[in-house]
Homo-oligomer: A and B are copies of this chain.
Amino acid sequence: MAPAGLFPIGLVGCGTVGTGVVRILQSSADLLAAQAGQSLTLRHVVVRDLTRARDVDLSGCAVSDSLDALIADPSVQAVVHVVGGVEGPRQDIVRLLQSGKDVITANKALLCAHGDELFELARSLGRTIGFEAAVAGGIPIISTVCTALTANRILAIEAILNGTSNFILTRMLDRRQIYDDVLREAQQLGYAEADPAMDVDGTDAAQKLAILAKLAFGTAIPFDRIARQGIQNIDLQDLLAAADLGYRIKLLAVARLMTERLEVSVQPTLVRADRSIAMTSGAHNFIAIEGDAVGVLKLAGAGAGRLPTASAVVADLVDCVTGRAACTFQALLRLQQRNPLPLHPSADIARRQYLRFNVADRPHVLADIAHVLGRHGISISSVRQDETEDSVDGTGVARLVILTHRAAEGCLQAADNEIDCLDSLRGPRIRMPIAD
C-alpha cells in the first residue's frame, strides 16, 4: 500500500499527451500536492516501444511495454490512459477498471464507440472514468456541462471542436493559401494527425459532439445519425466569397433542441464575421452552450496540444485524489438515465444555403441548375458567376455561387442528387448552410 500522503499513479501511453502529463506532474508537483492533499507520484509508465527516446525523465518509475506490472500493483488507484485507437484501449481500460483502478482517458473515438459500456462497467465496479481531455482539450467543457450547469436544461450547443480544420480554414483565408499547402503545414506543426482524414472529414468533431450531447441532453446519439460534412472541398475562393458577404466558414458542431427533438450536425457553415465563434482562429476551439437559466455561456481556448490537453488530464487526476471524481461520476451516471430525446429528422431542417458549382461555361447551365432548385421549391436569393482562369477541356470553367432563401434539407438533398447528374458539372460542388 502507498505510504500516507503519496498517491501513486500509472500512465499508459507516453506520446504527445502522455509526455505532457509527465511534464506537469514533475514541474507542478508542489502545487498539485497542495490541491490534492497528497503527492501525485508516477509509479508505472507503459509504452509500446521501449527503445523510443522520450522527451521526459522517467527515471523514477517502472517503464514497461505491458500492463501487467501496473495491474498487479494495488497501490496504484488511478491510471491515465492516453493511447489512440479503439479496440486496444477498450481492452486495457476494462482490465484497469477490473483491477480496481480509476481511469482517465482523452480518447474520444473510444468513448464515442464504447462509452456506455465502459461507464456501466465502472459503475458496477465502483470506479470512475475521467474524460475532460477527450472533448475540446484544455477547455473544461465536460465539467461545465456535468457540474457547473446542473441547474440548467441545456437548449443548444454550437461549437468548433476540431483544431486542425479550424487552423486550415483560418490560415487559408488569412494567407490566401490553398488547402493542400495549409494541411501540410498543420501536419508539420503537429496539429493534424499523420492521417488527417478524421480531422478534416468531421469525424473527430462528431465524436466529441456525441460525447457532449449525451451529457447535455441525456440522449445517446448513434454516430451515424450525426449529419456530417468535412472541409475537404472548400477552396480559397469559397472562403473569399463568404468573407465578401460578411461571413466566415467554420466547421460547426451543433446540437440543438427544437420542439423537443434534437438536431445534431457537424458541417462547414457560414457564420457572421462579427460573432465570437467566427473569430476563433488557428487551432483553438470554441463552445457556446445555452441553458434555460444561464443563457449563453461561451468558452474558448486550446482544444488540443501537449500541455493544454495534459492540463485537463491532470485536473481529472486531482479530482480522483480529492474524491470529487467519484461524486461527479455518480451524478453523470444518474444524468444519463434521463428520457432520451428523439432526433430531429435532418430532412425537416430549413436553412439558408451557400451553393458553389464549377460548371462548363456554356449556355443553359445556370438555367439548368436554377430549374432543378425551382422544382424542389428552393428559391434563390442571389447568384454570382465568375469566369475561372483555367479551362479544362478547351471550354472555359465558370464558378457559380448561389445563395438560397431558407429551404428544407430534404429538398436540398433531392436537388443535390439531380444536380450531380448534370453533365456540365466540373469537379466537386459544395453546399453549406448559413447560420442566422
Contact = CB atoms under 8 A, between A and B. Distances in A.
B334 A34 contact: yes
A311 B151 contact: yes
Interface stretch (A117-125, A139-147, A251-259): A139-147
A20 B151 CA distance: 11
A200 interface: no
B311 A291 contact: yes
Contacts of A143: 143, 147-148
A226 to B, nearest CB: 24
Contacts of A313: 151
Interface stretch (A236-244, A317-325, A348-356, A420-428): A317-325
A302 to B, nearest CB: 5
Contacts of A338: 31, 34
Contacts of A299: 297-299
A67 B218 CA distance: 39
Given A150-B32, A322-B331, A302 B310 contact: no
B295 A276 contact: no
B34 A151 contact: no
A208 B307 CA distance: 29
Contact of A324 (B35, B310, B312, B327): B327
A369 interface: no
Nearest to A334: B34
Interface string A31-73: 1101111000000000000000000000000000000000000
A135 to B, nearest CB: 13
A296 interface: yes
Given A143-B148, A298-B301, A138 B293 contact: yes
A147 B315 contact: yes
Name the interface size band of chain A: 35 or more
Given A144-B140, A318-B151, A335-B35, A297 B300 contact: yes
Nearest to A298: B300
A10 interface: no
Given A276-B279, A323-B323, A301 B294 contact: yes
Contacts of A149: 140, 311, 315
A331 B36 contact: yes
A307 B327 contact: no
Contact of A295 (B308, B315, B334): B308
A402 interface: no
Contacts of A35: 150, 331, 334-335
Contacts of A328: 322, 324
A294 B323 contact: no
A338 B30 CA distance: 10
A85 to B, nearest CB: 25
Q: Count chain B CB atoms within 10 A of each CB in A139, A308, A324 and give the residue with the most.
A: A324
Contact of A331 (B37, B295, B327): B37
Interface in A267-321: 274, 276, 279, 291-302, 305, 307-308, 310-315, 318-319
Contacts of A308: 293-295
Contacts of A315: 147-151
B151 A330 contact: no
B294 A311 contact: yes
Contact of A310 (B34, B36, B151, B276): B151
A149 B24 CA distance: 12
B318 A300 contact: no
A418 to B, nearest CB: 43
18 contacts: A20-B293, A24-B151, A32-B151, A35-B335, A138-B294, A139-B297, A140-B149, A143-B143, A143-B147, A149-B315, A293-B308, A293-B314, A295-B301, A295-B305, A296-B302, A298-B298, A298-B299, A298-B301
Given A34-B334, A35-B335, A322-B330, 11 more contacts: A28-B292, A34-B335, A36-B150, A37-B334, A132-B148, A143-B147, A143-B148, A294-B312, A318-B331, A319-B327, A324-B324
